[in-house]
Chain A
Amino acid sequence: MEKTTNQKAWFLVLPVLALVAFSAVIPLMTVVNYSVQDTFGNNQFFWAGLEWFREMLSSERMWNALWRQLVFSAIILAIEVPLGIFVALNMPKRGVWASTCLVLMALPLLIPWNVVGTIWQIFGRVDIGLLGYTLEALGIDYNYTQDIFSAWATVIVMDVWHWTSLVALLAYAGLQSIPDAYYQAAKIDQASRWAVFRYIELPKMSGVLMIAILLRFMDSFMIYTEPFVVTGGGPGNATTFLSIDLVKMALGQFDLGPAAAFSIMYFLVILLISWVFYTVMTNLDRREGHR
């Protein structure tokens, strides 16, 4: 029987194309337009060429923000991924406790960013916050508004608190999909706990873990609300990450040209890293498929 061809079905894609154009492509094109021009308001623009890109590339401020951002993402990945796996390995596999754990783990994920920021902002205060007050009482010098180390520690612990459960839930889903036969075979071979983890659980989780790492990297690389609410980017510029710096430049100072150039470079870095992650992920999948 011959298949009928109906090219008219392509028209069904049109609404999506229109939506993407309206919400993503056209704004991005506008940013490119802004990045080569200067404006003093009133929607009047003057040609500036590559000046803003040159300025941004030699701007210590941007490189510092990028560096801080990379360090932040690296630290939270280094904590959240192993911790998430550890939690997933120790969660009950079935029964009422499994459901209870799942609900408890999902709770932090449901809290909006600004609320998490506010919770930690109060929690860490030395005068009225439980954490800040306790640390102070223990004689530990902690003040996230004045001390750089305290500010970083607060922002990192807050992110770990908020997002580790995402990694844990994904890893748990990966673990649940492993058939019992694998564990039985390992038992017959008298495999150690480490060997079971290294040769059964970790390879079977690799797919979901890559997704977890990608999601956590992207989210942490774009982080704005939480540190903005807790530290406001301070003390000084100590926790001014890329998004915070960008918003300060674009909306605080209304430097549209430099902010647009900054945005494009930010976008390119994200695009590059996402592509690397995506390529690694699809190649891992393919290798898994060949096995």
Chain B
Amino acid sequence: MDWMAWTTPTAIFFVVIASLLIVFSALAIRFPETPRVGVLRIETTRGDRLFITLLGAAFINLAWLALSGMPQWGALIVCLAYAVAVFRWV
């Protein structure tokens, strides 16, 4: 696997994403839910909200990197707040 040039941070990154996917799949099987309509006026399930959270988090991180000039963990705090908002209102 040398050619993939693994590093600890990227490994942690992928483990977190994979765990999120596994946890949400398990949740979807264990506690099935009906889609709901939130502030975006579109039907979303728990999985949709996870996708919106992850995609939004990527853009928040990029915007933070480009505009703020502050340490990157600050973006993670914003992402967590964003995730809570998405799961609560979207």
A-B contact count (CB 8 A): 52
Question: Which residue from A30, A39, A57 sits with its C-beta under 8 Å from B65?
Answer: A57
Question: Which residue from B10, B14, B55, B59 sits with its C-beta under 8 Å from A36?
Answer: B10
Contact with A along B2-32 (1 / 0, CB 8 A): 1111110110011000000000000000000
Question: Which residue from B4, B42, B66 sits with its C-beta under 8 Å from A279?
Answer: B42
Q: List 22 interface pairs A-B (beta carbons < 8 Å), by A numbering.
A: A29-B10, A30-B4, A30-B5, A32-B10, A32-B13, A32-B14, A33-B7, A34-B5, A36-B9, A36-B10, A37-B7, A39-B5, A43-B2, A47-B7, A50-B65, A53-B62, A54-B66, A265-B62, A271-B55, A275-B51, A279-B42, A283-B43
The 8 closest A-B pairs by CB, nearest first: A57-B66, A45-B5, A33-B5, A30-B4, A33-B10, A268-B58, A279-B42, A283-B42
Interface centre among B3, B5, B58 (most CB of A within 10 A): B5
Given contacts A33-B6, A268-B62, 15 further A-B contacts (CB under 8 A): A29-B4, A29-B10, A30-B4, A30-B5, A32-B14, A33-B5, A33-B7, A33-B10, A43-B3, A57-B62, A58-B66, A268-B55, A271-B55, A272-B59, A283-B43
* Contact call B4/A268, Cβ cutoff below 8 A: no
Size of interface on B: residues with Cβ below 8 Å to A = 20
